[in-house]
């Protein structure tokens, strides 16, 4: 019988680059930057790594289709290296591969690294979707944009729960103000300038009701994790280490887009994925047991709705909880303590591991000005795709007991 992954994998080292418009570095340099920090943090030698997973999404303008760039950039000792891609869950997918490699007993120590170099295209925004996804997007989604589709999520949420439009705008604005305040304390964040609610509400509209500050940016960056078993972690002299409590992923089946039961106000994948993650981790009451979260705030409305899909806020009440400060850094369940996608930007292959990096630092008491008091469990959430067709991945990590 399957028993899940709880406490079978220890995270012994993590690294993360500074995110931003990294004109000074290519994808290979970013991989080295993150890896050097992770290796030093783990206190091991490179030759002890037995397998690696590389997460990168936009292959045509980035590092290509194979895993070779990771092996050559890091001069790995001719070990197995696998490239993975799963939309915005790509970084967590690399982590999942490395964790399963260790948990299965196939390897003792594994590396997961995610990287994305998005700013060298010569234009703003994400690369042409047709380049990485074939002809599907041009044939079936010719007018689709990310801000447009998530603006529809906001409209559906407002209509379903009968939220006043001004109240919803204020709640979304609070999400952005919170993240900018947190990001200002993070030297690795892309955007480190606090903003006021007045600035957010007065910003240009991108896709109604989403304004400029409701949208995350585009950045370059890389992050990595080195994992092993708790037994080997102890043999390496680790006395106070972090273990994986749950790893879950859920992909749309098509029912959101193909049937009328889904009314567009939430994410079915996140609702079901989080329930499985809590069961795997042995968490019965996430409202009181989850200490902190990093969620996929590609847009402020996404973070708000996710609070309900993660079963922290009740349906239709997340906007009230946001305004009440529940998810502020000094609130009941701090969210985006490092600034989130909103202030880091979203180098797709790196984001999931960047989220885990913050949870890891917090659990070790190494988050500096952002440090929370005695965190127990940290949850990360990635959402790839669009409200009507998406991928959700959730990881929960905590101290080994």
- Read off the CATH number of the domain in which 373 is found: 3.40.47.10
Residues 159-172 pLDDT 10s: 999 999 999 999 99
Q: How far apart are CA 297 and CA 294, in angstroms?
A: 9
Residue 140, in any domain of the structure: no
Query: pTM, whole model, 2 decimals?
Result: 0.95
Spell 75-84 as b/e; 16+ CB within 10 A means b.
ebeeeebbbb
- 46, 171: one domain: no
Residue 20 has pLDDT above 70, yes or no: yes
Residue 1, in any domain of the structure: no
Residue 290, in any domain of the structure: yes
Catalytic pick from 88, 99, 273, 343? 88
Residues 115-148 pLDDT 10s: 999 887 666 666 655 444 444 555 555 567 889 9
- 200, 281: one domain: yes
Residue 191, in any domain of the structure: yes
Catalytic pick from 180, 346, 381, 392? 346
User: Is residue 258 a contact partner of residue 269, using CB atoms and an 8 Å limit?
Assistant: no
Residue 258 has pLDDT above 70, yes or no: yes
- 89, 201: one domain: no
Q: How far apart are CA 177 and CA 196, in angstroms?
A: 6
Residues 77-96 pLDDT 10s: 999 999 999 999 999 999 99
Residue 335 is a catalytic residue: no
Spell 389-399 as b/e; 16+ CB within 10 A means b.
bbbbbbbbbbe
Residues 327-380 pLDDT 10s: 999 999 999 999 999 999 999 999 999 999 999 999 999 999 999 999 999 999
- 164, 93: one domain: no
Residue 233, in any domain of the structure: yes
Question: Could you give the number of structural domains in the chain?
Answer: 2
Rounded to the nearest integer, the mean pLDDT of the chain is 93
Q: How far apart are CA 148 and CA 141, in angstroms?
A: 12
What are the tokens at 225?
């994790």
Residue 65 has pLDDT above 70, yes or no: yes
Residue 16 is a catalytic residue: no
- 63, 26: one domain: yes
Q: What is the pLDDT of residue 401?
A: 80
Q: What is the pLDDT of residue 129?
A: 52
- Mean pLDDT of the region 235-252: 96
- 211, 292: one domain: yes
Residue 265, in any domain of the structure: yes
Residue 174 has pLDDT above 50, yes or no: yes
Q: What is the pLDDT of residue 131?
A: 46
Residue 305 has pLDDT above 50, yes or no: yes
């Amino acid at each position: 019988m399957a028993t899940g992954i709880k406490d079978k994998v220890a995270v012994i080292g993590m690294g993360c680059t500074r995110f931003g418009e990294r004109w000074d570095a290519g994808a290979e340099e970013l991989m080295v930057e993150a890896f050097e920090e992770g290796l030093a943090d783990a206190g091991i030698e490179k030759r002890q790594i037995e397998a690696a997973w590389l997460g990168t999404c936009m292959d045509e303008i980035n590092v290509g289709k194979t895993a070779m760039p990771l092996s050559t950039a890091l001069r790995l000792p001719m070990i197995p290296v696998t490239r993975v891609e799963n939309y915005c869950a790509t970084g967590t997918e690399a982590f999942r591969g490395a964790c399963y490699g260790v948990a299965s007993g196939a390897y003792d120590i594994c590396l997961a690294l995610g990287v994305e170099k998005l700013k060298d295209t010569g234009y703003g925004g994400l690369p042409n979707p047709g380049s990485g996804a074939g002809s599907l997007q041009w044939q079936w989604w010719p007018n689709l944009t990310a801000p447009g589709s998530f603006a529809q999520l906001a409209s559906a949420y407002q209509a379903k729960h009968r939220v006043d439009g001004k109240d919803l705008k204020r709640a979304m604005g609070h999400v952005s103000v919170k993240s900018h305040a947190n990001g200002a304390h993070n030297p690795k964040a892309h955007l480190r300038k606090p903003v006021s609610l007045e600035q957010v509400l007065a910003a240009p509209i991108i896709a109604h009701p989403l304004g400029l500050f409701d949208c995350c940016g585009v950045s370059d960056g890389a992050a990595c994790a080195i994992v092993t078993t708790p037994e080997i972690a102890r043999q390496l002299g680790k006395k106070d280490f972090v273990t994986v409590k749950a790893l879950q992923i859920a992909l749309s089946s098509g029912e959101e887009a193909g049937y009328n039961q889904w009314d567009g106000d939430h994410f079915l994948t996140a609702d079901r994925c989080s329930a499985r993650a809590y069961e795997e981790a042995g968490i019965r009451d996430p409202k009181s047991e989850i200490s902190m979260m990093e969620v996929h705030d590609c847009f402020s409305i996404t973070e708000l709705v996710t609070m309900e899909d993660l079963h922290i806020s009740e349906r239709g009440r997340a906007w009230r909880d946001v305004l009440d400060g529940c998810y502020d850094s000094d609130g009941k369940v701090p969210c985006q303590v490092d600034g989130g996608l909103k202030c880091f930007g979203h180098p797709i292959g790196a984001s999931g591991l960047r989220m885990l990096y913050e949870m890891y630092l917090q659990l070790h008491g190494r988050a500096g000005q952002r440090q929370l008091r005695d965190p127990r469990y940290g949850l990360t959430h990635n959402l790839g795709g669009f409200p009507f067709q998406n991928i959700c991945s959730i990881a929960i990590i905590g101290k080994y007991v």
